[in-house]
A and B are shown apart, each in its own frame.
Chain A
C-alpha cells in the first residue's frame, strides 16, 4: 500500500519524479506536460483514437485512460523509447517509404500498435492487421498505405531471416 502525493514513474527505463501534480492526471498528460515526452498525442481523451498508445508492462494501452499515479509500479514505454540513438525503427522507416504519414498526428500511436502487433505475430493476416489497428484512427490516409507499410516490414524482416 502506498500513498502518492509525489510519485516516480519508470518511463523508457529511466525514473522520472512527478511532483506538485494533481493525482488524477492521465499518464498521457503527465508524459507530455510534465516529463517532456510529447510523442504520445492526445486527441479524444477517452480511449477512442489510439494516438496516445504506450506500453504499460508490455501491454499496448491508451495512456489517456491510465491514471499516471496508478502506474508507479509499472514499466512504461513510449514512442520516444523505440529507438534511443535517433535513428528510425524499421516500422518508422516503412511508414516513411510507403507514404503512410500525411498529417502525422496518428503516426506515433500507429507505430506503437504496429510494433506491438509484429512483436506478437511476425506474419499477420490482413484481417489480423486490421483488427490490431482498429483502435488507431487515421483520418488522412484511408489506411491503405499504413497496411502497405506493415506488409513491407513483414517482408523485410522475413528477408533478413533468410
Chain B
C-alpha cells in the first residue's frame, strides 16, 4: 500500500489512469472511519488534499453561476461570500459534523461517498447542480440527477477526479433543513432543500430514499396552488408537505424508522415553504 500525492488535477488524473483501483482520499472524514474500524483496507491511496486548484471557487456573471472546487472544505462554504451567494448550501455545510469535521470534509467527498444522508446533496439536487469530472480522456460535466445513481453509488468512472460543482446563483429564496437526534455532530434522519429557481419551486429530499429524491408532484402542486411563492398560506404549505411526504420512500434502519422519516420530511417541506422571503 502506498499514498500517492499529486499536486494538480492533471497529475491526479494521470495517476488514476495508472491505478484505477486506487482509493481516493480527500478530507478523510468518511474513509478514515472505515479504515480505523478495519472495514476497509485500501491497497493504494490517491490523496487529493494537496491539490490547490481543487479549492478554488469562482462566479460567472454571464451564466449567473458559481463553481466551487470539490476540495474546498465545508468551513469555507458555511460562511463568507459563498454563503451569501448560495445560502442553502451554506446552511447544509453548517450542519455537517463538528467544526473539526467541517475543517476537513469537502463537497467532493460528499459526492464521492454519495450517501443518501450526504448533507449537501439535497441542495445540489434542488439547484440542479452540474458535477465536473476530469480524466486523462478529458473533462465531463454531469447533472447531479445523473451523477447519484443509488445509495453510495455514483456515475464517476474509476479514472475520474471529481473537480468541481456548478450551481446557479438565484435572487430568490432557498433554504435547507435537517432532522437528527441532536444539533451538532449528527447524521441526518431526514434532510431537505427548498428553492425557487426561475419562479418555479423545487424540493429535494435526503435520507428518505435510495438517492436524493425530488418531490415533483409537490413542486407542481405548489406552482399551481400558490399565487405568490414568497407568501404561501399555511393551508397550501401543509398540503405541499403532505404530498412531498407521500413521494418519499424511506426505510427503517439503525438511525430511524420509515414512519418517522416520512412524517419528518413532510414537516420540513411545510416549514421550508413557509420560511423567510
Contact = CB atoms under 8 A, between A and B. Distances in A.
Contacts of A60: 99-100, 103
A26 interface: yes
B100 A53 contact: yes
Interface in A38-64: 45-48, 50, 53, 59-62, 64
Contacts of A113: 99-100
Contacts of B5: 1-2, 70, 72-73
B35 A47 contact: no
- A contact face: mostly helix, strand, loop, or mixed: loop
A113 B103 CA distance: 12
Nearest to A117: B99
Given A46-B37, A72-B3, 7 more contacts: A1-B5, A24-B35, A24-B45, A26-B32, A47-B32, A60-B103, A61-B100
- B contact face: mostly helix, strand, loop, or mixed: mixed
B15 interface: yes
22 contacts: A1-B11, A3-B4, A4-B2, A23-B3, A24-B35, A24-B42, A26-B35, A45-B33, A46-B37, A47-B32, A47-B98, A59-B104, A60-B99, A62-B101, A65-B28, A67-B35, A70-B45, A73-B5, A113-B99, A134-B98, A134-B183, A135-B184
A135 B98 contact: yes
Contacts of B101: 47, 62, 65, 135
Contacts of A79: none
A15 interface: no
Interface in A83-142: 113, 131-132, 134-136
9 tightest A-B contacts by CB? Answer: A135-B98, A134-B184, A59-B103, A65-B32, A3-B2, A45-B36, A46-B33, A135-B100, A69-B3
Contact of B25 (A26, A47, A67, A134): A67
Contacts of B103: 59-61
B99 A135 contact: yes
Contacts of A5: 2
A148 interface: no
A50 B47 contact: no
A82 interface: no
Contacts of A135: 97-101, 184-185
B100 A67 contact: no
